[in-house]
Amino acid sequence: MTEVSPQGDRSGHPDRGLWAAVAAVFMFTLMNVFAKYLSARHSVIEIAFYRNVIACAPFLAAIFLFGRREILIIQSKPRVIAGRAVLGTATLITTFAAYSLMPMAETTVLIFASSLFIPVLGVLLLGEHVGPYRWTAVLAGFIGVAIMANPGGEINTLGVIVALCAALMQAFMGVLLRHLGGHERPETITFYFFVIGTLLTGLALPFVAKMPTLEEIPYFLGIGLAGAAAQWFYATALKYTPAAIVAVVNFSGIVWATLFGWLIWNDWPLPTVFAGASVVIAANILIVWREARLKRSLKSEVPPVPYVRKCCPA
């Protein structure tokens, strides 16, 4: 899960936004590949610590070298920002744990179930209205998850549970970001997520950390740099491209995850995974399409501001 992007002019560089979305998805996948590789020897808590502490570096450079002190200023929601950071840290650890337990492609699709949880949480927590189209999509998406879980054959029960927990927590973060988006700067939310996440995971390091080898150092650096680059690319994508298009581009992550899983771990998804993934993706696209259509209809219902001709002073 990423931050709400700053608003910008989306009319000038649509291609830039599209390529930025593709790059963001690739970087997120690369971060998870590094985490999965390192989890064979290192705790996912330790991996999350290095991801957060390295990702802090660009923000600290912006604040202290380029004078972006406004990043430090919390406008009105310090408790929500702190809660979001704690939840985000738990989500990151759980996501890395899911990738350590299951193949890349299956885990990626299961975590896409977060989009299915968001309408449900929107009803329960924000009192939002969800119509029959989105309820149908949510139900179909969970049927796809059940197909992927392969109840008639072998199933990694722990891996599925951990991945769905990560998806649920990502959905909670999505709801929190909806609430925070109108009150706080995206870079402020992200910065405190990295800082608080570094502190929380750092407390556990004496109990779980192992000294990285020289061969592992590039992978630890890659986790932090890929995570920070993914955040920047995603914000750029949303600046120039409508959110609905960016959300559809997110599904290219399944292609990258399948490719990396095959090349590195020789994992090729079973036919049930492809079938379930198709249902989950179709359900997500229906939700994205419906929400984009509702936003357009709401905008069209807003009456235009009447033009009032100003008289010249006498």
pLDDT category of residue 304 using cuts at 50, 70 and 90: low
In sequence order, which residues have a C-beta less than 8 Å from that of residue 174 and are 6 or more positions away?
A: 1, 114, 118, 121
What's the Cα-to-Cα distance from 192 to each of 60, 67, 204, 211, 278, rounded to whole Å?
A: 11, 17, 19, 27, 36
Which is higher by pLDDT, 64 or 122?
64
**Per-residue pLDDT at 250:** 82
pLDDT digits (tens, 9 = 90+) for 213-235: 999 999 999 999 998 888 788 87
The token pair that represents 90 in the structure block: 């738990």
Helix (H, G, I), strand (E, B) or coil at 103: coil
pLDDT category of residue 309 using cuts at 50, 70 and 90: very low
Instruction: Please count the other Cβ atoms lying within 10 Å of the Cβ belonging to residue 182.
Output: 10
Nearest to 280 by CA among 106, 83, 26, 46: 106
Q: Are 254 and 28 in contact (CB under 8 A)?
A: no
Asked if pLDDT for residue 75 goes beyond 80, the answer is: yes
**Per-residue pLDDT at 301:** 58
**Per-residue pLDDT at 199:** 96
Asked if pLDDT for residue 79 goes beyond 80, the answer is: yes
Which is higher by pLDDT, 76 or 261?
261
**Per-residue pLDDT at 68:** 92
For the whole prediction, is pTM greater than 0.75?
A: yes
Q: In whole angstroms, what is the distance from residue 256 CA to residue 25 CA?
A: 8
Q: Are 89 and 197 in contact (CB under 8 A)?
A: yes
